[in-house]
Amino acid sequence: MNTRKLGSKLPITASLLAFTLFLTGCPFGDCWGTADITVTVDRSISLLPGANVLVAEVIRINRSDVTGTSPEGLPIGPRAEEPRIFDVTVDPGTGMGQAHDPMTDPYPTWFYAFVDINGNRRLDSGEAFGTDPRNPSSTGGGASCSSDRYQGAITITRRLP
């Protein structure tokens, strides 16, 4: 009697399947792309010594994460309370800088930039800011994860009331 041992081939089959999924670039269905945000500080906004320019990234994974936007175009909701923050080094001659997120989530995302006068890494009343005109943006779902790249541009032109 000849019996085949199916169990001995199962680990090899599972390994090949896992390897094949990783070759597709998006093994779990979601592709984490990159985001490059160019920030320009308008010449009407003076950069005080010690003030930092920051980019905030607010991601809506669930509908309740971001429930709307303020009259200024800023996201509202639980996720807006704790945004991801990226530092921007601004060239004093051009007033321009760049923020980079190497692994942004593949969901609707709001970007805004601001001049952090008091160093608390939050946008406060009286601080200058600007929003990405294409908010909310999205990466993910492209031909491959490596090709999912968002390029945004924000100009800081006004102050938060």
- Opening angle at CA 128, ends 122 and 131, nearest 5: 80
pLDDT in tens, 48-83: 888 899 999 999 999 999 999 999 999 999 999 999
* 20, HSE (Cβ side, Cα atoms, 13 Å): 6
Fold of 33-159: Immunoglobulin-like (2.60.40)
Q: Determine the Cα–Cα distance for residues 12 and 18; give it in Å rounded to an integer.
A: 10
Q: Determine the Cα–Cα distance for residues 108 and 73; give it in Å rounded to an integer.
A: 14
Tokens at residue 69, please?
Answer: 């936007």
Domain map of the chain by residue range?
33-159
pLDDT in tens, 2-51: 555 555 555 555 555 455 445 444 555 567 788 999 999 999 999 888 88
Contact (CB, 8 A) for 23 and 145: no
